[in-house]
Amino acid sequence: MSKLTKLARDRECQIRIPGICNFDPATTVLAHYRLAGTCGVGIKPHDLLGAWACSSCHDEVDRRTRRIDPDSATLAHLEGVIRTQAILLKEGKVAA
């Protein structure tokens, strides 16, 4: 487990899908944003391309549940990645 993966523990969900997010930091993990053509089964992107996600938002962006349309899930995930990166920069966990 990488340092960035460990930093997700007990953090607020940064994906925050309305009507789906459970707002429970105890369920938060790093949800990798999968770029087309760069990922596959068993191949994940760098941990910097991940968002802190509660279990409910993680299920939705990974499409284990399908309560919102795929484009909305993708946009929510990408916004979560950006919010997560902003926090990591502010806390000095990563450098620009």
Cβ neighbourhood burial of 13 (10 Å; 0-12, 13-18, 19+): buried
| CATH at 77 | 3.30.50.20
57 located within any domain: yes
Number of domains in the chain: 1
63 located within any domain: yes
Q: What is the 3-state secondary structure (H, E, C) of 50-63?
A: EEEECHHHHHHHCC
Per-residue model confidence as pLDDT tens digits over 25-60: 999 999 999 877 666 667 778 899 999 999 999 999
41 located within any domain: yes
User: For residue 78, what pLDDT is reported?
Assistant: 98
The DSSP 8-state label assigned to residue 13 in this structure reads: P
96 located within any domain: no
Structural domain containing residue 25: 3-90
32 located within any domain: yes
Catalytic residues: 32
